[in-house]
Amino acid sequence: MAKLKTKYVCMECGCESPKWMGKCPECNQWNTLVEEVDTKTAPASAPSLSNLSKPERMQDISIEEEMRLSTGLGELDRVLGGGIVKGSLILVGGDPGIGKSTLLLQLSDNIGKKGLKVLYVSGEESVKQIKIRAHRMSADSANIYLQSENNMDYIQRTIEDVNPDVLIIDSIQTVYNSSILSAPGSVSQVRDATGNLMRIAKGQGIAVFIVGHVTKAGSIAGPRVLEHMVDTVLYFEGDSHMSYRILRAVKNRFGSTNEIGIFEMADRGLAEVLNPSQMLLSGRMKGVSGSSVIASLEGTRPMLVEVQALLSYTSFGVPRRTATGADYNRVVLLMAVLEKRVGLQLQNYDSYVNVVGGIKLNEPSSDLGIIAAIASSYRDKEIDDGTVIIGEVGLAGEVRAVNFIEKRINEAAKLGFTKCVIPYNNYKNLKDDPKIKIYGVKSVEEALNIII
């Protein structure tokens, strides 16, 4: 028997090497090379030219508006760009226990009740286990077909027999091809399985959902080419110990990548959160220093978020800086602006900044709100409960304009806020008459004189 040859393949970029190396020579990632069996095959014969596709002029190609299939979950439809596109390949990733399988089972039930067939293939659970979970969630559609299978050949045969409208694979790391000697979840197996599912989705017009495991770093396990092959990549975020979940699109060929959907984990599955601002501000204490409300924007959706800051006198020579939900380096930069431009002596205080609700602030419009919360805690003076703060802060202490200011102001007015502090450049360009009192500020010092 001939001796099997092995090679080492990078789990991040798919680079192959004849020997193991600690650092991948292509993507420069450490400890990503794994050993696989090298299965070299004979060179394939030249393809027949009879099936060669001919190029067409763009002006001669007729298109029709793509009809989207609603999932029955408005938050999921928002993230997908309006619904499921026929023949699309969608990858859903997230931490274990975050709710990926629960979301897809609810989606299956909603689509099945519309008279469409759904094939749910699980490589991790038996059909009885899925049935128990479906019974708890009251998912009782007669058009859901369950299968517990890992072999890709058998899955393809089942697809031909059932001819579903939607196919769900849970998860892609458990599917294998018997002709490939590598273990399930390896680079070769994941790449081959995803390639077969892509051909099924495009050739037969079946919408395919793939569940992907994530690594400790939070990225989807397997080669990075997996994310390049699919049409849409959805990440399910949130703490498994908390009830709220955030669904975010990081890639979407059929819609925006800035939209998010918010769900709450309940006894009967995931429930949509239609008003996230009200949810995020529901437990806010009034009359307490170090708390401010900012208007953040996720895609086209404005959200009001509470930012908390706590400053305490340090017992050591070097003060401690901690930021949760906000960029640490950004918080340190803003504290330096407060020291230099406003004159607050923060070098002897430990500072703790927290964004309530597990939300991560990435846009710079939250700068002025973070500064206001820190200054409020330092001076031990509370900010008026009806005030919303919006603005980006520069190193010179100036307050710069932000985008979509009207949406942010309208969201604040809808929730009963009475005062809004915004950049002066936004203030002078307002077109509509706002329903709340607006203050336009040019500098951080001017804003703090109004807020505190």
Detail the residues annotated as belonging to a binding site for ATP: 94-101
Question: What tokens appear for 7 in the block?
Answer: 């090679």
Q: What is the dihedral of CA 342, 346, 350, 352, to 10 degrees?
A: 10
Measured CA distances, 90 to 100, 207, 322, 394, 407 (Å): 13, 8, 37, 40, 30
What is d(CA 177, CA 190) in angstroms, rounded to the nearest whole number? 9
d(CA 183, CA 151): 12
Q: To which H or E segment does residue 127 belong?
A: helix 127-136
**C-alpha to C-alpha distances, 73 to 127, 169, 175, 357, nearest whole angstrom:** 24, 20, 28, 22
Residue 109, amino acid: D
Between helix 187-204 and helix 152-162 the angle, nearest 10°, is: 10
From edge to edge, which strands make up the β-sheet containing 6-10? 16-17, 6-10, 33-37
Question: Dihedrals φ, ψ of 341, to 5°?
Answer: -95, -25
Chain-centre distance for alpha carbon 256: 12
Helix residue ranges per DSSP H, 6-122: 74-80, 100-112
Task: For residue 128, give both structure tokens.
Answer: 């009885």
Per DSSP bridges, beta strands 419-423 and 291-298 are unpaired
Contact 116, 70 (CB under 8 A): no
- Longest CA span, the chain: 83
Binding residues: 94-101
